[in-house]
């Protein structure tokens, strides 16, 4: 009986794959304004944002609209729409990135290049799309990390010329004039400037995250406990600005960074390493618009967290009552009430009022006055 059930499941998966039949009921994406009005009808099959078309660890905040355009998909092809819902660049690409500094990365087949706001191909499709799939192919500080067919990486400028010669095994996006690169496989990483010159090369440690508000994380394994990780922060020239501490650490946002200050509990430090918010949280997000989403683990149901929002003193502004809570953006934050299959997302304001009812399967952050929602 079990064997037959297993074969039936395998056959079902095969049929779904061959005929491209969706597992779930058909849903579409549209865009709402801050009052919850659907201003762009739900006609798109996919949009870019958290969980769609990019990875959650991308350096750019994953919002749908960038420079007046949003990446949208009709069927399996991607294009761009404006804030009135007009298709500006026809869906014709296998994958796309967001617009940044006037250009967006687009992929056709196994190569990618860059288009402008009108869809004109400005930089030819000569690059490996792997970094695009990771959400890292965008221009910042006038440069974009690219990967060649042979796997080497470097940086191009907005004319497509190499500003930093492709000589790295791995190259991360620039942020605040600095980028982390790996000169060779299994080698320690290095911090470079926009000329490709080495600024800082840590000894027996690794740079982590990105340059954020002038600081970067450095980490290494604890000499006495290899399962423990030590972290500290340096400035954009590699000068140490905080002492080492054992535990997790995040990038700075609005002057504070979340770190684990006691076993499995998060608190927040300032840029001098001073503890500003004592460790009391099981999960901790970055500060946005003066508030940070933090989670408390259930006493009975382990690994189940209730989320709320604190201010920069650590005081609860919105108590922990949500099963999911995103960062605030333009005065709104998407939240989910519970984890049930039928649970929907809505938006709260900074006082905790549900200003847009929880009726969406998925809800993305607001950007340029609009938010993508799955209906």
Q: Is 131 exposed, middle or buried (0-12, 13-18, 19+ CB in 10 A)?
A: buried
Residue 147 lies in a domain: no
Say which residue the tokens 């014709």 belong to.
Answer: 92
Residue 257 lies in a domain: yes
**pLDDT, position 204:** 86
Say which residue the tokens 């929602």 belong to.
Answer: 373
| Number of independent structural domains in the chain | 1
Segments forming the whole domain that contains residue 252? 202-277
**pLDDT, position 26:** 57
**pLDDT, position 100:** 95
**CATH number of residue 238's parent domain:** 2.40.10
Torsion of CA 354, 358, 364, 370, to 10 degrees: -60
Residue 82 lies in a domain: no
Residue 320 lies in a domain: no
Q: Please, are residues 233 and 257 in contact by the beta-carbon 8 Å criterion?
A: yes
**pLDDT, position 133:** 87
Residue 366 lies in a domain: no
Long-range pairs for 150-158 at CB < 8 Å and ≥24 separation?
Answer: 153/181, 155/179, 155/196, 156/123, 158/101, 158/102, 158/103, 158/122, 158/123
Residue 243 lies in a domain: yes
Residue 118 lies in a domain: no
**pLDDT, position 224:** 56
Residue 334 lies in a domain: no
Low-confidence ranges of the chain (pLDDT < 70): 1-26, 49-62, 186, 222-228, 299-302, 341
Per DSSP, helices labelled H in the chain are 2-19, 130-133
């Amino acid at each position: 009986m079990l064997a037959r059930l297993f074969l039936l499941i395998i056959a079902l998966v095969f049929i779904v794959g061959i005929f491209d039949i969706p597992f779930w009921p058909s849903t579409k994406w549209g865009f709402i304004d801050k009052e919850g009005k659907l201003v762009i009808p739900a006609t798109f099959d996919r949009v870019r944002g958290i969980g769609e078309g990019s990875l959650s660890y991308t350096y750019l905040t994953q919002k749908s609209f960038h420079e007046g355009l949003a990446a949208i998909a009709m069927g399996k092809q991607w294009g761009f729409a404006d804030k009135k819902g007009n298709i500006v660049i026809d869906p014709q690409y296998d994958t796309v990135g967001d617009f940044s500094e006037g250009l967006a990365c687009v992929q056709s087949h196994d190569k990618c290049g860059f288009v402008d706001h009108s869809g004109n191909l400005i930089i030819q499709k000569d690059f490996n799309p792997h970094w695009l799939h990771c959400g890292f192919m965008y221009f910042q500080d006038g440069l974009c990390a690219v990967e060649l067919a042979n796997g080497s990486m470097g940086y191009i400028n907005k004319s497509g010329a190499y500003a930093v010669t492709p000589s790295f095994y791995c190259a991360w996006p620039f942020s605040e004039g600095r980028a982390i690169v790996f000169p060779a496989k299994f080698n320690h990483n290095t911090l470079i400037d926009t000329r490709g010159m080495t600024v800082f090369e840590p000894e027996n440690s690794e740079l982590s995250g990105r340059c954020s508000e002038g600081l970067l994380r450095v980490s290494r394994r604890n000499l006495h406990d290899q399962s423990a990780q030590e972290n500290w922060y340096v400035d954009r020239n590699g000068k140490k600005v905080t002492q080492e501490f054992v535990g997790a650490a995040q990038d700075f946002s609005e002057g504070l960074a979340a770190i684990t200050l006691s076993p499995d509990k998060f608190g927040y430090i300032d840029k001098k390493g001073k503890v500003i918010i004592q460790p009391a949280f099981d999960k901790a997000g970055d500060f946005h618009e003066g508030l940070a989403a933090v989670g408390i683990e259930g006493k009975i149901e382990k690994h189940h967290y209730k989320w709320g929002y604190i201010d920069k003193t650590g005081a609860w502004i919105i108590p922990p009552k949500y099963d999911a809570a995103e960062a605030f953006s333009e005065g709104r934050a998407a939240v989910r009430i519970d984890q049930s299959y039928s649970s929907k997302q809505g938006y709260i304001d900074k006082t905790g009022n549900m200003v847009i009812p929880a009726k969406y399967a998925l809800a993305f952050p607001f950007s340029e006055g609009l938010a993508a929602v799955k209906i």
